[in-house]
Amino acid sequence: RLATVTVNKQQYESRGASIHVLSLHMQDFVKILGLKHRREVAGKSAIFSGEHFVLEETDWYLLNLFRLWWHYGISFLRLQMWVEEVMEKFMRIYKYQAHGYAFSSLEELLRSLGGDAFVNMTQRSVAESLLEVGVTQRFVDDVIAAVLRSSYGQSVLVPAFAGAMSLAGAQGSTWAVEGGNKLVCSGLLKLTKANVIPARVTGVSLHSSEGRPLYQVHYEGSEGQGSAFYDMVVVTTPLHPSRSNFTFENFEPPIPDFPGAFQPSVTSVVHGYLNSSYFGFPDPKLFPFASILTTDTPDLFFNAMDNICPVNISAAFRRKQPQEAAVWRVLSQQPLDKQQLKTLFRSYYSVQVTEWQTYPRYDAAKSLPPIVLHENLFYLSGVEWVASSMEMIAVAAKNVALLAYNRWHQDLDKIDQKDLMHKVKTEL
């Protein structure tokens, strides 16, 4: 029997709300669930410095390229080459997993994909890595900072691997699920016919049976306290002091909390009239942008904002005109006060605010958490300290499944193998 200890429903839905795209490499996986690609709605983006736009997107692809070259030289080409090199190596994981290979640590997984260079990318900043390949400081300050503020809510000091994943998602090769990306999770539960117990796990205690470990999962539900025994347990909630709300018992040595903290984030969904004058457009009819990113400027009180669309896009749907009331999502690190809302909006009908701890504070810890906590006790959420995205979690989940299977059947030739590219080629 296998148990998965996850976050509670409210935390799950809040975290899911911050992830709005899926990688193209997950399309086949999503189609199995009977889900569809949500229709795209065109909209231009711009980067705001607090005083003016440092970069504006147009409707013409060649003009966009010319503007990038005019402002930043060939930095955008060097960025693209760097990201593509990282992603090309990362994609090896799908071949490895298709052949049943698994890894017992995050370091081994990264090393199998890109050698020690990938491991080192979790310890050095994305700014340092990009400057090393010839990207200019101005491009880092304007463009890279804006992307990372909108995705992770952090600066260019995030580790290079996490930065590469974020930048890959910003290049347009992403898409959303019709009806909302949360349907991926609910669809998987339905497909696997999992027995979902809606309860809060309070602890996991270790027992033994016929020489094998047996894990007792304790929980509290609407009907009171309960527990059940399992051969394997997968923990998919962060094991950090600020997030962990359950204990491990009878383990020797004890299973510790892991160092590190999470980045606080606030999402404000505002239905109102944008104050285009704040962005340098006195006439709201002339405001052309649906998405606004920001540079790392001290006086800026928000990270990004965008004109959001429904999770279901009908054929007749159109974006609101800039002078009309629309629904905007504003990302910030602190709740917006009335004066800040007044700065961004001429007037508004409603404001819905969600606060939660979204992503790891990548400057808060320098070591990666383990995958194996005990013989058949596995930890999934540690992968967020490599990079946090739906695709990374999916890759980590399959790795844990393969690892648990291979360990249970003592198929050690499928765990932590070296030179896997050669092995995979010879198996074809």
Predicted confidence (pLDDT) per residue in 279-294, tens digit: 999 999 999 999 999 9
- 18 against 99, higher pLDDT: 99
Average pLDDT of the segment spanning 230-254:
86
Three-point CA angle 27, 33, 38, nearest 5°: 55
Check if the beta carbon of residue 133 is closer than 8 Å to that of residue 82.
Answer: yes
DSSP-derived secondary structure letter, 322: T
Amino acid found at 82 = W
- 322: cis peptide before it, omega within 30°? no
What is the pLDDT, as a whole number, of residue 76? 93
Please give the sequence-ordered ranges of beta strands (E in DSSP) within 182-320, or none if there are none.
Answer: 199-209, 212-221, 224-230, 232-235, 247-249, 262-274, 289-294, 304-307
Average pLDDT of the segment spanning 293-297:
96
Chain centroid to CA 54 = 26
What is the pLDDT, as a whole number, of residue 12? 36
HSE (CB half, 13 Å, CA atoms) of 7?
20
Whether 171 shows a pLDDT value over 80: the answer reads no
β-strands 262-274, 289-294 pairing: unpaired
Query: What is the C-alpha to C-alpha distance for residues 122 and 367, in angstroms, rounded to an integer?
Result: 9
Predicted confidence (pLDDT) per residue in 260-277, tens digit: 888 889 999 999 999 999
Mean pLDDT (the chain, rounded): 88
Query: What is the C-alpha to C-alpha distance for residues 416 and 111, in angstroms, rounded to an integer?
Result: 10
Please give the sequence-ordered ranges of beta strands (E in DSSP) within 282-421, or none if there are none.
Answer: 289-294, 304-307, 326-332, 345-360, 372-374, 377-379
What is the pLDDT, as a whole number, of residue 9? 37
Whether 246 shows a pLDDT value over 90: the answer reads no
Whether 5 shows a pLDDT value over 90: the answer reads no
Predicted confidence (pLDDT) per residue in 15-66, tens digit: 333 333 445 456 666 777 888 888 888 899 999 999 999 999 999 989 999 9
Whether 356 shows a pLDDT value over 80: the answer reads yes
Nearest partner of 143 among 192, 78, 203, judged by Cα: 78
Residue indicated by tokens 């429903």:
9
Nearest partner of 6 among 152, 194, 191, judged by Cα: 194
> Residue 342 burial (CB < 10 Å; 0-12/13-18/19+)?
middle
Q: Among the listed ranges 8-12, 65-69, 303-307, which one has the minimum average pLDDT value? A: 8-12
Phi/psi region, residue 198 (left: phi>0; alpha: psi -120 to 50; beta: rest), is beta
Check if the beta carbon of residue 233 is closer than 8 Å to that of residue 378.
Answer: yes
Three-point CA angle 110, 112, 117, nearest 5°: 55
Query: What is the C-alpha to C-alpha distance for residues 124 and 366, in angstroms, rounded to an integer?
Result: 10
DSSP-derived secondary structure letter, 278: G
Which tokens go with 135? 């990207």
What is the pLDDT, as a whole number, of residue 35? 85
- Residue partners of 52: CB distance under 8 A and separation at least 6: 280
